[in-house]
Amino acid sequence: MDQRLIVVRLSEVKWSCREEDILVAYSLGSCVGLVLWDPVRRAGGMAHIFLPTASGSSASSISKGSRPDDRTPGKYADLAVPYLISRLEEIGCRKERLVAKVAGGAHVIAGLSSPIGDVGALNVRLVEEMLRKAGIPIIGRDVGGTYGRTMRFYVNSGRVTISSVSHGEKDL
């Protein structure tokens, strides 16, 4: 079986039920990588989340007036989590079986601030809140710090690895 690498770019959400697929999000700084996996269906997906919320002043102030649209459902945590859940349900996953792994949310540029505060920490907080509300347990977590990460998700096994230049690679 040949492995197939699928890149999940900034603000994207991708999913698969093909055992050879590996989903990868590069350069997770303040962004959050979210993996949801159904171990019975052996399918899952990944979101590369850029900002915490699409509504209210916090998102609009940091994104310079951009508005959410259907082309970037992964841009905001409050849209990406339910979007990924619904796509997985469409391919036969069951919400009550989903488990989550979360990575990123770092504060990578010292001294840089935004009008809403630490974007990485806010991203993590909102993703975890959305998962709690959906009843999806977080079984792996590698968040915060001051360094970027790459997140790889092996669809068939549910394995997730996190790698960084400064911290090497580890299973999540």
For 41-57, write each residue's pLDDT tens digit.
Answer: 999 999 999 999 987 53
pLDDT < 50 regions, the chain = 57-68
Helices (H) and strands (E) in the chain, counts: 3, 10
- Per-residue confidence (pLDDT) for residue 135, from 0 to 100: 98
- Per-residue confidence (pLDDT) for residue 73, from 0 to 100: 85
- Per-residue confidence (pLDDT) for residue 114, from 0 to 100: 60
Residue type, 20: E
- Per-residue confidence (pLDDT) for residue 65, from 0 to 100: 40
Structural domains in the chain plus CATH codes:
4-171 (3.30.1330.200)
Residue type, 95: K
- Per-residue confidence (pLDDT) for residue 64, from 0 to 100: 39
Q: What is the DSSP string of 55-120?
A: SHHHHHHHTTT----TT-TTSBHHHHHHHHHHHHHHTT--GGG-EEEEEE----STT--BTTB-HH
Q: What is the Cα–Cα distance from 154 to 143, expressed in whole angstroms?
A: 20
